[in-house]
Structure 1
Amino acid sequence: MKKAMSNVDVAAVVEELQEKLVGGFVGKSYQLSPDRVVISFQSPASGKLDLLLEAGRRIHLTEKPREAPKMPPQFPTMLRSRLSGGRVAAVRQHGFDRVAEIEIERGDDRYTLIAEIFPKGNVLLLDSGGRIVLPLRPLAFRDRKLLAGETYQYREDQVDPRTVSRNDLAFILASSDSELVRTLVRGLNMGGTYAEEICLRAGINKTVPAFALAGEEIDRLHWALGEVFGLAEAYPHLVAEGERIVDVVPAPLAVYDGLERREFGSFSEALDEFFSSKEAEAEEAKPKTALERRREMQERSIQEFRERERELARLGEKVYERYGEVEAVLAAISKGFERGFTYSEILAKIKTSGLPIAEKILALDYQGELRLRLDDPGDGDGGEGKGGTVGDTGGKGEARGAVLELNSNLTVPQNAQRYYDLAKEQAKKREGAEKALEETIRLIARKAGPEKAKTRAVYRRRKPKWYERFRWFTSSDGFLVIGGRDATSNEEIYAKYLEKRDLALHTDAPGAPLTVIKTLGEAVPESTLEEAASFAVSYSSLWKAGLFEGDCYLVAADQVTKTPEPGEFLKKGAFVVRGERRYYRDVPLGLALGIAGDQLIGGPVSAVKPRADPVVEVEPGELSAEDLAKRIYRSFAEREDDRRWLKAIASVDQIVSFLPPGGSRVKG
């Protein structure tokens, strides 16, 4: 399901904005949410227009009503002071990336408004020298700093599928060790839907190895690229399946043939409706608790496992029912292979042989994996098949009979057993999901029952554990991990609680907690080490700097000392680490907070999420700890009727104690 605009969508909407905004004038700016800004324009052709820019998600004109705060935040205030009254000189897309640029002239000043639509994107205003006047969200990555005063850096240029030459395309395919559809996504800067569209229009199976394509197949692929990304046929519409909206596209796609199209006058109108409908769906789903959503997902999974189990068992039976036909096909392929022919050569010979099996074989790949259509009685010839090259899929006639996926190196019974084994796997998954569903139903009943109200009515504040005055969490493997809050608590952990059998983590950057894994003499699993690494970088100065990744290292407890080298001095809270270090590189920053029983807990997402409900994930962002804590408390309060109980275990101050220093935001 589409969550953000693709590079094709950006190209289409930029073309519309060029027609409507260039030559127009900038009006007021409004910030509707931490990621969303609306700017009004006076268009020479269309009058007053509102442009919505949502960082990391979308950019388009909107006609939806807005509720802006009475006191505008810093970013829209800055836009008003710099851009109001300015004239739009140009609207363009940077390369074929998901970056839209609006160039605005105001007197002698020239500004560029940047909308980044890719994940963790931003909205920024640049001056004429390319320096950032102000970002919507101040962020810093390893190779890019989106901070006021910094020179704006675009992401590394990627291959443009609109202009890639035939020779460059052949090189990309030949260099790939993956299937065609994945190679197109990774090597040619496109989404999965468009990669499938290219394969479909070129008439090439998307699962064939990319390096196996040559000659005329590459020519067809290159032609399909120009046809799809040329956007020659503008026809903005929503794609729907019944009441469910599937996608929004600027031009027809063959992958959606057979689905309903809801046409719009412009692509902006279609985008506005698409994203509004998705927000409405999310709003309708809000009242459901996490447990209720979990139950629905589990029920759907059980049904899917059950249906898949039945279908696989039916196909296994079908192999035996058509024993003679299957055996004849396998024997023909095996005979050709024994004579030294490749599977592609075998398929080509069978297709031109005029034998009855020629219409039954739909595909035969380079490993001998076979797709075979067996027409049910009364189907006649079973419809038209496309055969002819390795990996061909069948035409619409496939649905008229059973389509079996077989291995030509196996016997008929062995191929049937493959289906039975797959059916057993689905049965095991279904049984596991049914047990999980029983546990979910039990938890829902317990939360809704009278026991909950009774227990919480007599709730008394529990006595804190010794480690709760530090930063702490319990790993998914049950190990206690603690870290200092400041120099004083770092010193206390070193002096009182760091034992020889423990492990310690720290970052090269200053301003990080002394993180200690209390091993109790037991071997520590890798999952706990990775969680402790995430904990160490998330509570370090890297978070305050707005970074999303960081490095840290692991050492034994006896490698940590307070004894400096001769002539050196250690300030309070500092340590010396001697000996070999094990580094954890590019560890993602991120934490989760949640309520587990009658206690607020926090720490790495993988350690908190399985134990707590509700759970909120946080990442580096623009909100102060106090402001974010209030939002998290409100989200908890929406799910909990007993506010006295909630305030006792998860007050705003308690939530603040789990948040890192610096700006943060709720993830997603």
Structure 2
Amino acid sequence: MKARENMASIELHYLTKELKQLKGRRIKKAYQLSRDVFSLTIWPELNGRRELILATRNCLFLSKREWPKPQYPSGLAMGLRKRLGNARIVDVEQPDMERLLVFDYEGAYSGKLVVELFGKGNLILTDEDWKILQVARTIKVRDRVLKRHEIYKPPPKPSDIPSINKIEDEEGLLSILQQRGALELWRFLLEIGVGPPYIDEVLLRSGLKANLKVRDLSQDQRRSLGNAVVWLAKRLKDKPDPVIYLSEGEMVNFSAFPLNSLEVKYEVKPVESLLDLLEEYFSPIITRSVKDKALLELEKRARALEIELKQQKDLLNRYEEELSELRQKGELLFSNLYEVQGLIEMVRKGIQDERIIDVDRSKHLATIVIGGIPISVDFMKTASENASNYYARAKKLSLKLVRGKEMLKVLEKRLLDMKSQAEILHISKGPKIRRKKKWFERFRWFFSTEGFLVIAGKDKSTNRELVRRYMEDDDLFFHVEQPGGAVVLVKTDGKVVGDETLSQAADYAASFSRAWREGLSYADVYYVKGKQVLTHAPPKMYIPKGSFYIRGKRTYLRGKLELAIGIWEIDGEPRVTSCPVEASAEMKAKIYVIPGEKEKLETAKMIKEVLENELKKVTSMSLYLDLDEIMKALPPGRFRILRR
């Protein structure tokens, strides 16, 4: 079953109550994340939720995540910023249970921000008099026009039909039914603001079919319908009890409160709040539509490569068919040399025979039938020469086939790498959980068994930053002997560092070096004091950009390439990091890796699954682990998982 991808008016009804908490808060900035997705940053944040995501084709929700922003704002985003920047939210309303939300704002400018979730969706900014100032999607239909300088009008609706939240009893509903007799039941329910999946729940409770005409309902059926609708109207006055419905572990539907019509089909997953439900359910859907330009370019190249790969496969299939045919004809000629030679002689003399079906004397070619198969031969050559010619052509084609298969493997690997890069980029550019980080979390880090903070750079830029900004004279600087490795610092705070910390820092420096990519088990590592490290060369000497000059004596250690990837608890929150195996005792859950053959992305996915399962057994901390953080905790290269 296709997963549901939009909100119903009933969920919007409950969400409106939640969003009323935004009254008095300010809109700091507006962004257009994609064609139909917008983000408003709210200050002060509401329970850790700072971004209001407006996905006009799907939903809107307050997000705890930090969503990726485009490098340059669109014209529409600039127009929104001009009016909404630092504006205060005055009110949030849902008119007549429509899939429509109106934000009243005031500040340097005042007006309305309208979010339409029906049709293809829309975002409209107006002034106080409803004159349209900005619109995401210009529309001109019979009932209304949405474009700049026009007056905004909501979609038309019969004025005498109350919405579901205004129906008090069965008698009120029965009087409405008499006015709308020509409608089918499902259309009537839509008209009063009951959309899927709540229509199915009303029909289940009333025992009626969706395509029944309202006027054809018996008195008992009308009362059954009335009971179901009144139950729903009363339920809307209670607090939400949100649930997500799963099919084979995948999210396929959700509702603001449990529905019997869905519980019989799917696994039920209760969620603490409606805001949590909307973010959990819609974040993956919205993420697919919010793509970075680099990712779009990579996907475009991957599609072009897939076409090239298909063409190469088709060509090889034709080569194999032609090769089989050439070998078969060569074998037939070689097996019937006497008969073939006789036919060639007859062609030369102009003698006709039923086995000779065509002769082209200008090209010296004749088509003869041997073993029921037509074969073209050069009648100026002997039978054995013709057989040899077919074998020679088969051999040449066989070589082309071998080269083609080699090229096919190259293309398949290139496509696999490209798709892996695209998935990694998609993960890295996706929304991130917003939380306060310690200063050292910008780097790779762990705490040694002796309590020393050990930090490592992620690239040339962070290597340089560590040395220039964070390294003190008494700190210890570690690096592999060969070029191409992370700078590792042990923050000593003036204390004496023991052998355990020295060994663990050496292992860390060895692991985050070129040695891992080369599949080595050990690498030579040296360490010096911070005051021995210079970021520039002495006079009349040169060091490459990003390198460091070491003065004085170096101390060498043997570093082991083995890491524990796991969860370190800081201030009661889980942090994904890596460390040498000997320093991993404090991890709540962990898994060991060494250089191997498994791709980085595949390894990260396995680690994520294992850590989340292990974390459930040992702690009550939040179980969401960011795949991007796990990948950043791994060194470049391939992996083998040792022990879970």
Is the pair's TM-score, using the shorter chain for normalization, greater than 0.5? Answer: no
Q: TM-score with structure 1 length normalisation? A: 0.41
Q: TM-score with structure 2 length normalisation? A: 0.42
